[in-house]
Amino acid sequence: MSLFAQKSKVWNKPLYDAYPFHFGFAFTFGVLDFSVAHSDYFLNQPDSIKIFSIEGQPGALFGASMVSNLRINDNFDLRFIPGLHFGQRDLTYLMVSNKTPYDTISHNMKIESTFLQFPLLLKYRAVRQNNYRPYLIGGVNYAIDLAARKKIKDEEQPKIRLNRQDIYLEVGFGVDYYLPFFKFSTELRFSYGLMNVVTYDDTRYTKVFDKLGSKMTTLVIYFE
């Protein structure tokens, strides 16, 4: 009885993974954040009011992308997924006075970003099980922040600027679901920026960083 049920199971789009190329689109939802590494200046500040701590505050990220997929063999695909993404993350500076150490001042910087992203990823697919197929994915993502050189309003001062370019190392996993007319996929991806994104401006707000990195955790939904 079980053998008959297995033989009668219908596979949706059974030849889909044999196509040399296929295309689609994707929607991304996630969290954008900073990673902070302090400099020697942070430890030896000459100012009467010192920066006691800097913390990144994560914010929402969302965007849309186009998908181009090249089949390498039965298990590997090469994917290029250019897209436009919007996000915000904050930096909170906590400052204390030498004269009154319990008198603290908090300053929050809202850092908005508009990214053009160009991920190039290698996808490893496990053996297909009926109408789903799990996979692993990894690669690099070149990103340009179009909002990095946006004019800072007077009421936003003091505020730091970010560098326009960054390169992310990305890893993730997901599942392909084969539907009658298209393939639907969900993917959880982790991205770690390799470059220092702070633009040093000779103020203490940038001098306190040895490195200011970017990181993202995203849920990507594909329609292919």
* 188 torsion bin: left (phi>0), alpha (psi -120 to 50), beta (else): beta
Question: What DSSP line would sit under 153-164, residue for residue?
Answer: PGGG-S--EE-S
pTM of the model: 0.89
Residues 6+ apart with CB under 8 A from 72: 78
Mean of pLDDT over the chain: 91
Q: Tell me the per-residue pLDDT of 66-111, one tens digit each, with 9 for 90 and over.
A: 999 999 999 999 999 999 999 999 999 998 876 665 678 888 999 9
Q: What is the pLDDT of residue 46?
A: 83
The architecture in CATH of the region 24-131+139-223 reads: Beta Barrel (2.40)
Confidence of residue 4 (pLDDT cuts 50, 70, 90): very low
Query: Is the distance from CB of 162 to CB of 200 less than 8 angstroms?
Result: no
Distance CA 148, CA 109 (A): 14
Q: Tell me the per-residue pLDDT of 21-62, one tens digit each, with 9 for 90 and over.
A: 999 999 999 999 999 999 999 888 887 788 888 999 999 999
Q: What is the pLDDT of residue 48?
A: 76
> Is it the case that residue 162 has pLDDT exceeding 60?
yes
- Choice among 42-56, 137-151, 181-195, 201-215 with the minimum mean pLDDT: 42-56
Distance CA 21, CA 146 (A): 31
> Is it the case that residue 6 has pLDDT exceeding 90?
no
Query: Is the distance from CB of 119 to CB of 137 less than 8 angstroms?
Result: no
Compare 111 and 4 and report the one with higher pLDDT.
111
